[in-house]
Amino acid sequence: MSRYIERNENDRFNAARDPADPSPEVELPKPVLAGNISIEQALAERRSIRSYSNNELSLSNVAQLLWAAQGMTSDLFFRAAPSAGALYPLEVYLVAGNVSGLDVGVYRYVPSRHSMIRIFKGDRRDELCRASLSQSQIRDAAAVVVIAADYSRTTVKYGTRGIRYVHIEVGCAAENIYLQGVSLGIGTCAVGAFDDEEVASILNLPSNEDPLLILPIGYV
C-alpha cells in the first residue's frame, strides 16, 4: 500500500512541476516527537493570530508544521491527521516568502518522504492576499500553507458522502497546524474566504484539486 501511494505521489508531483524549474527536491529536517509544552496547554493557548513578526521562519519549524498537517506517523501509510478509509485526499502546499534557507516560491509537500518539491519560483503572497478578499495576514505572513483536496480519492469509495469526510479531514489537519504552531511560537489563522479559481490559478493546481483552506504562518 505504501509503495502504491508513493508512486501516485511521484506521478502527481512530476506532472505539476514547471519544466523550466529544475530545482531539486528539498529534504526537510526530521520531525520532533517531544515538545516543550503539553497538549493541554497548547489547547488552552490556541488562538487565531492575524499579526506576525518580521522574523524569518526556520526551515525546521516549517517542516514540523507540514508534518503535523499530513506527515507520516508509521512505516506504513498512516498520517498525523485522520482520513476516511485511509484514502488521504489532501495535498499541502507551502507559499514561501521568508523562510530561512529556502528559496521564495511555491512548494508541494511530499508526505511519504517528508520533503518538498518546488512547483515554481517567485513570491505569490500578494496575489494570494488579493484572491482572499485582501486579508492582510496572508501578505504579511512569512509563509502560507494552502490545503487542497482531490475529492475523487474519497468519493470513489464513499460516494457523495465522501465530500463531508474530506471537509472533516481538512479541519483535523488545520487544527494540527494550530496546535503545533502554539508549541513553536508560531501563529496562524484559518482563512476560508477566497476565490477558488484564482487561488487554484495562482498555485497552478492540477485540475482535479480544489483549494479548501489557507493558513498564513509567522512567529508571534
Burial of 192 (0-12, 13-18, 19+ CB in 10 A): exposed
Q: Please give the grid coordinates belonging to residue 17.
A: 512541476
Q: Please give the grid coordinates belonging to residue 218.
A: 509567522
Domain map (residue ranges) of the chain: 2-219
- What was the pLDDT predicted at 76? 74
CATH number of 2-219: 3.40.109.10
Whole-Å CA distances, 185 to 11, 45, 58, 177, 190:
35, 11, 12, 12, 17
> What's the rounded Cα separation, in Å, for the pair 214 and 218?
13
- What was the pLDDT predicted at 20? 47
Question: Mean pLDDT, 10 residues at a time, over the chain (220 residues)?
Answer: 40 48 82 94 98 97 98 89 97 98 97 96 97 98 98 98 98 98 98 98 97 98
Give me the DSSP letters along the chain: -HHHHHHHHHHHHHHHS-TT--PPPEEPPPPPS--SS-HHHHHHH--------SPPBPHHHHHHHHHHHH-B-SSSS-BSS--GGG---EEEEEEESSBTT--SEEEEEEGGGTEEEEEEES--HHHHHHTTTT-HHHHHSSEEEEEEE-THHHHHHHTTHHHHHHHHHHHHHHHHHHHHHHHHTEEE--B--S-HHHHHHHTT--TT-EEEEEEEEEE-
> 16-63 pLDDT, tens per residue?
444 445 567 999 999 999 999 999 999 999 999 999 999 999 999 999
Give how far the C-alpha of residue 76 lies from the chain's centroid of Cα atoms, to the nearest Å.
Answer: 21
- What was the pLDDT predicted at 23? 63
Q: What pTM value is reported for the model? A: 0.90
What b-and-e string marks burial along 94-124, b requiring 16 or more CB atoms within 10 Å of the CB? bbbbbbeebebbbbbbbbbebbbbbbbeeeb
- What was the pLDDT predicted at 143? 98
